[in-house]
């Protein structure tokens, strides 16, 4: 089953980092965020990736084309025009890199890689990570038999919740409780039949998902663990702080 990663957006809200590289290439713990996303899938045995490129896609191409150079010690013999890698740590990945347009929306990017896909495929964003169990997600999708599954998550409220009674007395205080609402956190499983509602739409997150939901073709896998996107510098700092503890929740793989 192939894993499609949306990695073409401009990341304007993270402009401090994205003026010289696409957002999925912003580093957490010295590795691009897209590497963390791929390691999550690889841990569960999904190693065939199709990456939808757009803004500064050449940076992502260069990274994977020279992955051995990035991940190992090297001796460069200029006289012989040889590069010898030492302590090479290879990944069992097959990576297809596709230019899907500079300003394309998410639906347009998925449709642009349709020819590379099998009947069932995984889809996610290149700027969000979680400790989600991909095996359970896929099993859920297979069990219900609908064309599409999204993963949903309950984010914490930005501020604490104060409950006050009729007398003005504070009854309880909860520091950043769950919002009560569910959001699409990516980590989707789709059949090719789910591509039909995407045609003619720019983004998958609006009309296509609404159409599938209305027609009973969309199911939600509820993820109750860790999830975090990286849209702002503050969120990058949150992820880096998690990584610095040595116990990053999304690091489900072993070195």
DSSP class per residue in 76-108:
EETTTTEEEEES------EEEEEE--SS--HHH
The pTM (predicted TM-score) of the whole model is: 0.89
Per residue in 85-101, pLDDT (tens digit) is 887 778 999 999 999 99
Q: CB of 120 within 8 A of CB of 190?
A: yes
Mean pLDDT of the chain: 92
Average pLDDT over residues 122-145: 97
Predicted confidence at residue 163, as pLDDT, reads 76
- Please tell me the distance from the alpha carbon of residue 157 to that of residue 170, in angstroms, as a whole number: 19
Average pLDDT over residues 245-255: 93
Average pLDDT over residues 11-38: 95
Predicted confidence at residue 169, as pLDDT, reads 62
In DSSP terms, 115 is beta-bridged to none
- Please tell me the distance from the alpha carbon of residue 56 to that of residue 39, in angstroms, as a whole number: 22
Per residue in 47-98, pLDDT (tens digit) is 999 999 999 999 999 999 988 888 888 898 999 998 888 877 789 999 999 9
Predicted confidence at residue 220, as pLDDT, reads 96
Average pLDDT over residues 173-199: 86
Q: CB of 7 within 8 A of CB of 55?
A: no
Average pLDDT over residues 208-233: 95
Q: CB of 89 within 8 A of CB of 136?
A: no
Predicted confidence at residue 56, as pLDDT, reads 97
Domains parsed from the chain with CATH numbers = 2-150+182-244 (3.90.550.10)
Per residue in 98-124, pLDDT (tens digit) is 999 999 999 999 999 999 999 999 999
């Amino acid at each position: 089953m192939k894993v499609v990663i949306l990695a073409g957006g401009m990341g304007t809200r993270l402009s401090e980092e994205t003026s010289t590289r696409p957002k999925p290439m912003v580093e957490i713990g010295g590795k691009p965020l897209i590497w963390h996303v791929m390691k999550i899938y690889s841990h569960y045995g999904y190693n065939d990736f199709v990456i939808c490129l757009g803004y500064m896609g050449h940076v992502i191409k260069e990274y994977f084309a020279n992955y051995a150079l990035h991940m190992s010690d090297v001796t460069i013999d200029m006289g012989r025009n040889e590069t010898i890698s030492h302590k090479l740590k290879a990944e069992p990945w097959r990576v297809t890199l596709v230019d899907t347009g500079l300003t394309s929306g998410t639906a347009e990017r998925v449709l642009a890689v349709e020819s590379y896909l099998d009947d069932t495929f995984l889809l996610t964003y290149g700027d969000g990570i979680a400790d989600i169990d991909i095996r359970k997600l896929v099993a859920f999708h297979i069990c219900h038999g609908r064309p599409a599954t999204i993963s949903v998550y309950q984010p914490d409220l930005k501020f604490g919740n104060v409950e006050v009674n009729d007398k003005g007395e504070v009854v309880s205080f909860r520091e950043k409780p769950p919002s009560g609402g569910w959001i699409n956190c990516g980590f989707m499983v789709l059949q090719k039949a789910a591509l039909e509602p995407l045609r003619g739409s720019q983004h998958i997150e609006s009309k296509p998902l609404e159409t599938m939901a209305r027609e009973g073709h969309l199911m939600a896998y509820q993820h109750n663990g860790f999830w975090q996107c990286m849209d702002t510098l503050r969120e990058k700092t949150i992820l880096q702080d998690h990584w610095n503890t040595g116990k990053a929740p999304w690091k489900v793989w072993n070195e």
